Amino acid sequence: MNADFCLGARWSGFDLGDLLRHRMGKTTKVNPMACHSSTGLAHEELTGEILSAFYLVYNELGYGFLESVYESALTIALQRLGLQVRRQAELQVWFQRQRVGTFRADLVVEDRVIVELKAARALEASHIAQLLNALRATDIEVGLLLNFGPRAEFKRMAFTNSRKQIPPDQRSSAAHS
């Protein structure tokens, strides 16, 4: 398929091959007329690529698998796009400028976006709280909550480092433990 598309704005009508060709600068082009205007969101292009890969996986696998299956499939799709992905990434948690522990994020993409996966009937407040807590406690500022439920859905969240209690000299290490 040689149609124009916009990463992060439209989800149907293209496949992983189109995404790869776009990423490598080959035949497929981004059509700015098909896209919403840039919103200035942090890591907007990267989250658009992650969301595109999410919908590719969802469209092929559908609903009903365990989260681990979706984690594996999404990792493959993201790596095929040339993105660095860490699965079950251990991240440091900070409290009052002190390291108090670690937790595991489902995926960390390019050390800039935390991705939490769910395979639930619908996203719940506890799922949102889990991602928000991860963003508050680490130096990563952007997160995606992806639900492979009966209906594909996502939430994008951001929490800037200027609002956190992570010591500036420890910020780069919080996401790379």
- At 164 the pLDDT is 62
CB 45 within 8 A of CB 7: yes
Query: The tokens of 11 are what?
Result: 């989800």
pTM of the entire structure? Answer: 0.72
* Most trustworthy range by pLDDT among 38-52, 65-79, 126-140: 65-79
Give a yes or no: residue 80 inside a domain: yes
Give a yes or no: residue 6 inside a domain: no
Any idea what the CATH number is for the domain that residue 105 is in? 3.40.1350
Query: The tokens of 44 are what?
Result: 């907007």
Mean pLDDT of all residues in 52-56: 97
Q: Which residue has the higher pLDDT, 57 or 173?
A: 57
- Distance CA(85)–CA(88), nearest Å, equals 10
Give a yes or no: residue 4 inside a domain: no
Give a yes or no: residue 36 inside a domain: no
CA distances to 26, 28, 57, 122 from 23, in Å: 8, 9, 18, 32
Give a yes or no: residue 10 inside a domain: no
- At 159 the pLDDT is 82
Confidence of residue 92 (pLDDT cuts 50, 70, 90): confident
Tell me how many domains the chain contains.
Answer: 1
Give a yes or no: residue 93 inside a domain: yes
- At 156 the pLDDT is 94
Query: Residue 9: CB partners within 8 Å, gap ≥ 6?
Result: 34, 35, 36, 48
- At 17 the pLDDT is 54
Domain that holds residue 109: 43-174
Give a yes or no: residue 23 inside a domain: no
Give a yes or no: residue 21 inside a domain: no
